[in-house]
């Protein structure tokens, strides 16, 4: 029988682990529920699975445990931070909250962050804006890591470069979380560790040949992940990656042109307040129509119903909050190793 845990217990567990490892208490309180949120939504490679490497980063000093970001610029609706290698999850959440606050004043608020640590699951941040009736765009990249080649190439230049958008409606928000690559480092790493293949040839070996074996990414020289669109239309994912790289690195003034600093992120956050445009009612009239038109679309054979991005994640979240969270195999053991080391008591399954 699969063990399930109360989301509140997992949140308290993660918070205690972070605090014991040296993360400021206020940051641990903000980071912990966001890590659990990813698992609630089904993004199991970017939730509690990342807590052990984050704790290791706090232990070796590659993640800063205390302090505030340095303000590089503040022109009202536009703010730029140097994250000082602080928790990327905390920085991103704080950036979304600040962007919401500035959007109330100026109609839109934008925050760029350089030198953040890794930021985990983008989708987990979106409701911080949509619950206020605001639309949000969030993107990140890691200038110290490369696993995706430009379309037509064979050597990695950039990361999967995710971008997420939260769109308010009269009901559930639309939560888009996509990458410029056809798959992710998290999934390929997990499948490689488990000795499993990809569903389709989403990677190239070092010679540029398509493969379903994630192991080609771990050779010397390594292969690469294909951009969205694959061998046929990968120029689209390539273009998307160039946009994300520019938003997350060029605006913040730190990126691949600088010496690598280790696992981390450049981050871009922009929030839009519909009241500063045509108004909330006008905004949701359009987004409600779009949502209804998509969900009501006749499904093709083999498809039960057309869903909107976020429908599945929010349904999984509601079920997990009601029935408990079933963690992906290996996550509990990884957390327990650190719990023993830090003297933190693990939660009891439901």
Low-confidence stretches of the chain (pLDDT < 50) are none
Q: Which two tokens stand for residue 97?
A: 């909250």
| pTM: predicted TM-score of the whole model, two decimal places | 0.96
Choose which CATH entry (3.40.50.300, 3.40.50.2300, 3.90.1150.10, 3.30.60.50) describes domain 183-225: 3.30.60.50
- 71: exposed, middle or buried (Cβ count in 10 Å: 0-12, 13-18, 19+): exposed
Choose which CATH entry (1.10.1530.10, 1.10.3720.10, 1.10.10.10, 3.40.50.720) describes domain 1-67+309-350: 1.10.1530.10
Q: What does the DSSP assignment read for 148-183?
A: BPPTT-SS--B---EEEEEE--SSSPEEEEEESBSS
Q: Residue 27: helix, strand or coil by DSSP?
A: helix
Q: Tell me the pLDDT tens digit for each residue of 11-44.
A: 999 999 999 999 999 999 999 999 999 999 999 9
On whether the 68-177+233-280 domain is CATH 3.40.640.10, my answer is no
Q: Tell me, what's the pLDDT at 1?
A: 62
For the chain, the domains span: 1-67+309-350, 68-177+233-280, 183-225
Q: Residue 216: helix, strand or coil by DSSP?
A: helix
Q: Which two tokens stand for residue 261?
A: 């600093």
The answer for 217, left when phi > 0, alpha when psi is -120 to 50, beta otherwise, is: alpha
Question: Do 321 and 5 touch, CB atoms closer than 8 A?
Answer: no
Q: What is the DSSP letter of 220?
A: S
User: Using CA of residue 341, residue 8, residue 170, residue 306, what is the dihedral sign?
Assistant: positive
């Amino acid at each position: 029988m699969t063990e399930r845990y109360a989301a509140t217990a997992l949140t308290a567990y993660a918070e205690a682990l972070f605090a014991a490892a040296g993360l400021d208490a206020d940051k641990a309180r903000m980071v912990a529920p966001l890590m659990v949120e990813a698992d609630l939504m089904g993004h199991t490679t970017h939730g509690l699975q990342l807590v052990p490497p984050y704790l290791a980063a706090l232990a070796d000093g590659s993640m800063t445990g205390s302090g505030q970001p340095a303000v590089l610029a503040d022109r009202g609706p536009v703010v730029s931070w140097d994250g000082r290698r602080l928790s990327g999850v905390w920085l991103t959440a704080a950036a979304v909250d600040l962007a919401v606050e500035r959007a109330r004043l100026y109609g839109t608020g934008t925050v760029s962050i350089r030198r953040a640590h890794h930021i985990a699951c983008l989708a987990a941040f979106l409701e911080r804006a949509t619950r206020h009736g605001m639309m949000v765009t969030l993107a990140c990249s890691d200038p110290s890591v490369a696993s995706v080649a430009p379309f037509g190439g064979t050597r990695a230049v950039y990361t999967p470069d995710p971008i997420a958008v939260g769109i308010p409606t009269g009901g559930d928000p639309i939560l888009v979380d996509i990458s410029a690559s056809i798959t992710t480092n998290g999934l390929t790493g997990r499948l490689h560790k488990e000795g499993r293949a990809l569903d389709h040839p989403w990677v190239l070996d070092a010679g540029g040949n398509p493969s379903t074996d994630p192991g080609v990414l771990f050779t010397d020289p390594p292969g690469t992940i294909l951009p969205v669109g694959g061998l046929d239309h990968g120029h689209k994912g390539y273009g998307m990656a160039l946009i994300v790289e520019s938003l997350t690195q060029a605006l913040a003034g730190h990126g691949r042109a600088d010496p690598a600093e280790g696992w981390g992120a450049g981050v871009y956050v922009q929030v839009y307040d519909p009241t500063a445009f045509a108004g909330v009612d006008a905004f949701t009239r359009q987004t409600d129509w779009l949502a209804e038109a998509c969900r009501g679309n006749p499904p093709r054979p083999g498809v039960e119903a057309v869903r909107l991005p976020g429908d599945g994640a929010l349904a999984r979240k509601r079920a997990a909050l009601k029935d408990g969270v079933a963690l992906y195999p290996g996550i509990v053991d990884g957390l327990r190793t650190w719990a023993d080391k830090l003297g933190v008591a693990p939660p009891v399954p439901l």
